[in-house]
Amino acid sequence: MTGNPSSRSDMPPCDVCAAVISDLQYDARVWKEARSLQQAGYRVSIVGCRSGIRKTEYGHRLGIQTTEVPLGGRGRHAPVVGRLMTLARAWTAILRTPARVYHAHNIHTGPACWLASRLRHASLVYDGHELYGERDGSGLGYTAIARGSLALERFMVRRSDAVITTNDSRAAVLRERHGRQAITVLANFPELRGASEAPVDMGFPEDGLVLLYHGGIYAHVRAFRETIGALRMLPDVHFVIVGFGRESDLGQIRAWAAEAGVADRVQILPPRPFDELVRIARSATVGLVPIKPVNLGCYLGDTNKLFEYLAAGLPVVASDLPEIRRVVTLGDPQVGELFDPDSSESIAAAIDKVVRDPAYGKRRREAERLSRERFTWSVEEGRLLELYDRLAGDDRHGSANLTPRR
């Protein structure tokens, strides 16, 4: 990113203000959509967050204006006051950004995007990366948060001019919950630009097979402990984790590895920009998708990493969940194996079946073929641009209409 990190530059009106409460440098979906719109001629501004900064920073990347508010440190749990400050700063930045469309990438930015769209007679898009409304724990506080998040999801689905989500299963839930039929599905497929370039050298072990996980490190809602248990049955497999997480989660994973006696075969590496993830995966042996169905959103999720592994020509082992199963069982031979995320034995069997398969090389070629032919962002991009073309031709918002400069 470039720009003045300490003061706000004058912001000219843009066509699209995209907003998200997440670390912008690692949010592939937000950047894919923003790039597609920018390349189609729309003027795009992104409001997001970044870890490790103290002040809001303004800049440009690839012709896209960026506003990043402090998110706090990656390695620690943010206090409630800190999270509220992040939200307040993001909402302020959204309201100060003149746009013709406000594109909310989660419910946390929804109220500010809705208000800005009403004040400026602009269009509103809700992009539901997740499903909301389920409790993350017991007690009145968790119940209140769940009910509030579900109410906010309902508000955004019903009040937005267009609604987007990540797969057909999640779209079906939103239709049933909130009574809206017109929902656009944009899958989490990667951009393939640069995917065929030389692998990024992350220093993976050279004396064995590499099981790779990249992405957010959440010790208790991903099958990390079970995967570490599986390593005891796979003496020549190294488990490499590339990603971001709180120190408590990283410490827990290291403790499990030491307890299982496999600490020398578990390596945790820092996060890398999303543009590098496909090239990083090319150096591994098999990709891991260890989702636990702790809520409906996880149960019906698919996740970026699944498609990034395939783009790298990497066979996968993955939790046996509906949307994941549809992908992993494709190909001849199929591109991966499924497992029970609560069973180390099941995970070990899936890994062993992939890495010992005489047709392993064919699996890699099938993964790459499917990614190139079916699981590429270029397919999804067309639906995004069609949606924005409809908004551009919709006269309900009068002067707020946007005109792509294609």
State how far Cα 16 lies from the chain centre. Answer: 20
Task: Tell me: do 216 and 161 sit in the same domain.
Answer: no
Mean pLDDT, residues 200-216: 91
pLDDT of residue 2: 45
Given a cut of 90, whether residue 323 has pLDDT beyond it is yes
Q: Compute the C-alpha angle 182/48/22, nearest 5°.
A: 80
Task: Tell me: do 46 and 155 sit in the same domain.
Answer: yes
pLDDT band at 140 (very low <50, low <70, confident <90, very high): confident
pLDDT band at 206 (very low <50, low <70, confident <90, very high): confident
| The pair of three-digit structure tokens given for residue 4, joined into one six-digit string | 């003045």
The number of beta carbons lying within 10 Å of the beta carbon of residue 400 is 17
CA atoms within 13 A on the CB side of 194: 12
Task: Tell me: do 178 and 258 sit in the same domain.
Answer: no
Task: Tell me: do 238 and 274 sit in the same domain.
Answer: yes
Task: Tell me: do 158 and 233 sit in the same domain.
Answer: no
Could you tell me if residue 201 is inside a domain?
no
> What are all long-range contacts of 328-336, with beta carbons under 8 Å and residues at least 24 apart?
330/370, 331/363, 331/366, 331/367, 331/369, 331/370, 332/366, 333/357, 333/359, 333/362, 333/363, 333/366, 334/363, 334/366, 335/310, 335/363, 335/366, 335/367, 335/370, 336/287, 336/363, 336/367
pLDDT of residue 142: 78
pLDDT, tens digit, 9 for 90 and up, residues 218-274: 999 999 999 999 999 999 999 999 998 999 999 999 999 999 999 999 999 999 988
Q: Assess whether the previous peptide bond of 205 is cis (omega < 30° from 0).
A: no
Task: Tell me: do 225 and 364 sit in the same domain.
Answer: yes
Could you tell me if residue 119 is inside a domain?
yes
| Amino acid in the structure at residue 198 | A
Given a cut of 70, whether residue 394 has pLDDT beyond it is no
Buried b or exposed e, range 333-369, using 16+ CB within 10 angstroms: ebbbbbbebeebebbbbbbbebbeeeeeeebbebbbe
Pairing verdict, β 99-104 and 64-70: unpaired
The three-state secondary structure class of 23 is strand
Task: Tell me: do 368 and 387 sit in the same domain.
Answer: no
Task: Tell me: do 273 and 394 sit in the same domain.
Answer: no
CA atoms within 13 A on the CB side of 270: 3
Could you tell me if residue 390 is inside a domain?
yes
Task: Tell me: do 227 and 255 sit in the same domain.
Answer: yes
Query: Partners of 65 in the beta sheet?
Result: 45, 60
Assign residue 225 the CATH number of its domain: 3.40.50.2000
What DSSP line would sit under 98-147, residue for residue?
-EEEEEESSGGGHHHHHHHHHHTT-EEEEEESS-----SSSSHHHHHHHH
Task: Tell me: do 168 and 49 sit in the same domain.
Answer: yes
Pairing verdict, β 57-61 and 64-70: antiparallel
Q: List C-alpha distances in Å: 14 to 20, 28, 65, 277.
A: 17, 21, 9, 30
Enclosing domain of residue 81: 14-189+377-400
CA gyration radius, the chain: 21
pLDDT band at 376 (very low <50, low <70, confident <90, very high): very high
Task: Tell me: do 94 and 156 sit in the same domain.
Answer: yes
Instruction: For residues 266 and 305, give the distance between their C-alpha atoms in angstroms, rounded to a whole number.
Output: 19
Given a cut of 50, whether residue 197 has pLDDT beyond it is yes
pTM of the predicted model, to two decimals? 0.90
Q: In a 10 Å sphere around its CB, with 0-12 CB exposed, 13-18 middle and 19+ buried, how is residue 92 labelled?
A: middle
Task: Tell me: do 65 and 46 sit in the same domain.
Answer: yes
Q: Compute the C-alpha angle 214/217/219, nearest 5°.
A: 135
pLDDT of residue 102: 98
Are the beta carbons of 174 and 157 closer than 8 angstroms? yes
Q: Could you tell me how many helices (H) and strands (E) the chain has, helices first?
A: 14, 14
Highest mean pLDDT among 13-27, 53-67, 135-149, 332-346: 332-346
Largest CA distance in the chain: 66
